[in-house]
Structure 1
């Protein structure tokens, strides 16, 4: 028809669809993390008191969910490599809503653990790893993919700021059980329709720059030394960051700082992850992959090193800022490095294994560091963690400098 605008090109349509999915996931990740993870902090004390449990028993439920999400994430990744995300992530949102309602009705330790074991399975379907797999498959160009993943994590970084105080307000007004019912309604009302209506399978043949984007086979990647060097680097970096964070306040108290200042300084770890994620995309675009990956781990090493080596309040705060920025970048680095290096076809499977390794680090760090601490003391512990992060930087640099990714 004369005068009618030309139809959008497939590339433009796909770009628009990809950013629509990014916007939807930004919202659903914020709400999912808020209700299924961060809100637990606010419910810990009222749950413990009402159920007559010890603090360690209650927090064990969250630990169980995180551990269960690791192997479940591998299965979810394999599924998303073969099928679209709509059915699985919508089912995860429905199950998550039902399980929060079930959480509001638990009467003892066994039922609490049963509910949270199931929530761990849901985490694998609706948390970052699933979202990153969806984005990796919709954005073939590395720079766009990094921007999309960064956008989701920046919005979702507000999750704790929104849902921890909101949960506390609801608990104060309605009690912890009714507060969970309200949060379940919020979770369902936001995540179910967005997953059901917006998510869709990516085109079968992703292209970058007019050619087929290279993708490696999952089996070949998981048998390769460079993948395990890279995974070891992320394991060590996460281990160092979590162990330093867990023992930061006791270390600062031993150094003579007040408890108020110690808590204030440690708070910068969380805040600094936001600018870290903002800076990651331009950093990755300007540096070679091996260099940008090493820089992420060097920031973790520098943060821990500054905290232990330099006295003074300003140095302590600066150390936690560096540590937080490095940790925030690491979340994006792991997701984008896998897509950039190994392609889109088997991203879910490969990323699921890498995420399981990272979760293992989170679980191992507090206990292992505590055992080591009992032998060497706080100063030696933090110097050792600095060295661990430096080893991560060397491994990450070496893995990225190895041979180019194999094709299918």
Structure 2
């Protein structure tokens, strides 16, 4: 690879990964909300129990993420994603053929575990392994494409479900993962040309950490804390956005306003792609974290105003869209490309463990203390995420004496 080529994002890989991300998120995550009620009827469950099963599957999948991160570093993200596509297809078929509730839950856990092998965490690691020096730009481009997953797969799932049972839809999705995603991931695994982030052709391929060695552990804890709290706020509102706005007096307009969220996510990624190239990743992370609680405050202060709700949906979408980028790029910027997969696995585990509880937690709060207080608490958690990310900045400027004291565990 020539020096010039190494500075260009791998466009073919990004486009191929973009397709698999749309399919991965669309078939393994977004389709569930369309099919859930039919699943519940078929299994003789309530809607609450079927979503509870999804939360449990997400939590267990999150706990497995650190091990998957180690596999990515050891074997290469392309190989892991290839395996993930095969497991995803088998797991979707397992859900479709499940004879009862226990078998369905086991298959659903396999679906959400496989999702960690094929979705953003693994895809970001693959882009880092292919061309580390342009990985931040590559991740931005990829998230711009992946942002269309819900826009594409919600109507596709609904259209298929109008003619087929949920089991048949899942079998169609299993075939798509097997016939489209698996060959693409196999090709990408071969194109990567190495096994993992620990096996580079030379030091010039690596991204070095921007943090002093003694500051990396506290900085990582702060980063994971910030991302986990952000994920809680994001997950809670994604599930309850329309009910929350309805409860605040917006009525039928809540659904229309809610549709602005998806385009705002994509718009934030496009703006960042065009104008955010020179912005430090930590600053971008702080901006994305600020937007989420700011949007909730706007909603609380303006409800039941429709213009206020529109601003809320747009601002929240902007924050959510940026968040998915920085959760891949900040790790690279702060800690470098060495061991990237393992770090992303730990980040993903914390995020999924926290966010899997968010829909239930917000529903519980709203049922007991009301919508306004519940949103205020959620906004407070978002503000705590901002504080955690801001606390990383002083660690980047830590004097040598302070680094030595921190390494020794001194106050």
- Please give the TM-score of this superposition, normalised by the length of structure 2: 0.86
Aligned residue among 220, 225, 246 for 1:227: 220
User: In the alignment, is residue 379 of structure 1 matched against residue 369 of structure 2?
Assistant: no
2:141 maps to 151
Measure how far apart 1:245 and its partner are. Answer: 4.3
1:112-139: CA deviation from partner (whole Å, max 9, x where unpaired)? 1111111122112111101111112223
User: In the alignment, is residue 195 of structure 1 matched against residue 188 of structure 2?
Assistant: no
Find the aligned partners of 1:110 and 1:211 in 2 and give their Cα distance: 47
Aligned residue among 336, 342, 357 for 1:343: 336
1:84 maps to 76
Measure how far apart 1:317 and its partner are. Answer: 0.9
- Please give the TM-score of this superposition, normalised by the length of structure 1: 0.87
Aligned residue among 157, 169, 172 for 2:162: 172
* Secondary structure in structure 1 of the residue aligned to 2:338: coil
1:210-244: CA deviation from partner (whole Å, max 9, x where unpaired)? 58532599xx7897111111211122222233334
- CA shift in 2, pair 1:54/1:370, >3 Å: closer
Measure how far apart 1:58 and its partner are. Answer: 2.2
**RMSD, matched Cα:** 2.8
1:28-49: CA deviation from partner (whole Å, max 9, x where unpaired)? 1111111111122222222222
Q: How does 1:2-13 map to 2 (within 5 A)?
A: 9-12=1-4
Measure how far apart 1:254 and its partner are. Answer: 3.6
How many residue pairs match? The answer is: 392
Find the aligned partners of 2:214 and 2:54 in 1 and give their Cα distance: 31
1:267 maps to 259
- CA shift in 2, pair 1:229/1:189, >3 Å: same
Aligned residue among 308, 316, 321 for 1:315: 308
The question of whether the paired residues in 1 share the 8 Å contact of 2:66 and 2:342 is answered with: yes
- CA shift in 2, pair 1:163/1:289, >3 Å: closer
1:359-383: CA deviation from partner (whole Å, max 9, x where unpaired)? 1221232333344445543222223
Q: How does 1:3-402 map to 2 (within 5 A)?
A: 9-12=1-4, 14=6, 18-141=10-133, 144-200=134-190, 201=192, 204-205=199-200, 213-215=207-209, 224-258=217-251, 260-282=252-274, 284-311=276-303, 312-374=305-367, 376-402=369-395
- CA shift in 2, pair 1:30/1:374, >3 Å: closer
Find the aligned partners of 1:43 and 1:375 in 2 and give their Cα distance: 29
Measure how far apart 1:256 and its partner are. Answer: 2.5
* Secondary structure in structure 2 of the residue aligned to 1:255: helix
The question of whether the paired residues in 1 share the 8 Å contact of 2:26 and 2:149 is answered with: yes
Find the aligned partners of 1:365 and 1:207 in 2 and give their Cα distance: 43
1:3 maps to none
Uncovered stretches (5+) of structure 1, i.e. residues with no partner: 1-8
1:70-117: CA deviation from partner (whole Å, max 9, x where unpaired)? 122211111111222333221211121122222221222111111111
Find the aligned partners of 1:60 and 1:367 in 2 and give their Cα distance: 8
- CA shift in 2, pair 1:206/1:371, >3 Å: farther
Point out the more displaced range, 196-205 or 82-91: 196-205
* Secondary structure in structure 2 of the residue aligned to 1:107: coil
Uncovered stretches (5+) of structure 2, i.e. residues with no partner: 404-411
